[in-house]
Amino acid sequence: MMTNPILVLGATGKTGARIAARLEAQGLPVRRGSRNAEIPFDWNAPETWGPVLAGVSAVYISYYPDIAVPGAVETVEAFVAQARTAGIGKLVLLTGRGEYHAQQAEEVVRHSGVPFTIVRAAWFAQNFSEGALHAPVMAGVLPMPGGDVQEPIVDVDDIADVAVAALLGDGHDGQLYEVTGPHLMTFAEVAEALTAAAGRQIAHVPISFEDFHAALVASQGELIADILTGIARETLDGRNAHLTDGVQRALGRPPRDFTTFATAAARSGAWADAA
């Protein structure tokens, strides 16, 4: 039984919370990395890094709010250097498909001298159920730029399963797992799947990147709007319109279908009206 904790950064986020819960369900010691944790962690406060790394066996790295933020790659590089000095035995890094800054962060980890696994993810299915696009879906619309571009949207539960396998199992060192869902979908098709699962009409509304940004500013604030719009401008050009086998290679099973995600999310009340 492992005695040294696994540090999960972003432990209150979509992937981190799921990874921490899976590890704890196996009876493994977990150190949750967040500003409000017992041992606080803050990307913007390097003085918190040493204490949170002390005695840790492995680290799951998810940068908040996103690796696309100016200066994020340099911050990750400084953190990884400190992790190496602390004797960390394994790094698992989450990045995004087709993102320039994400690939820079991958190179930082790849050349760190620490055993590593990279999980490079497509668009999250959970963006529609618990993320920035939840509010529009609740309002019955899915306003998205990018026209008819197709995305192989991935279930965050698959990302969590891959990360846990990489943290715990043999054979994952040095691997790049590019994880996607099993099908390419336009956002119009996403809206159709959400309509069927949620039992409410959700209409795809093609919009410009400028209007996408303005809508996000109103609901998420300027910083998140800038980040998400920047990623959308960079990636919604067809560069990611192909499937990969990362989930299959890491887990020996196919990725979950978007319809399966949407059905489960609806049953859990993701799109239920507030009482």
Structure tokens belonging to residue 260: 């399966």
Assigned domain for 204 exists:
yes
* Matching residue, tokens 């010691």: 29
Domain count, the chain: 1
Structure tokens belonging to residue 269: 């009340």
pLDDT in tens, 32-77: 999 999 999 999 999 999 999 999 999 999 999 898 888 999 999 9
Assigned domain for 159 exists:
yes
Assigned domain for 272 exists:
no
Assigned domain for 96 exists:
yes
Assigned domain for 275 exists:
no
CA distances from 133 to 81, 87, 127, 216, 220 (A): 35, 39, 6, 9, 10
Assigned domain for 116 exists:
yes
Q: How confident is the model at residue 2 (pLDDT cuts 50, 70, 90)?
A: low
pLDDT in tens, 211-265: 999 998 988 899 889 998 999 999 999 999 999 999 999 999 999 999 999 999 9
CATH code for the domain in which residue 24 is found: 3.40.50.720
Residues ≥6 apart with Cβ < 8 Å to 194 = 128, 137, 142, 202, 262, 271
* pLDDT the model gives residue 273: 83
Q: Which residue segment(s) compose the domain that 97 sits in?
A: 6-266
Q: What is the mean pLDDT of residues 89-108?
A: 96
Assigned domain for 1 exists:
no
Structure tokens belonging to residue 274: 């507030």
Q: What is the mean pLDDT of the chain?
A: 95
Assigned domain for 274 exists:
no
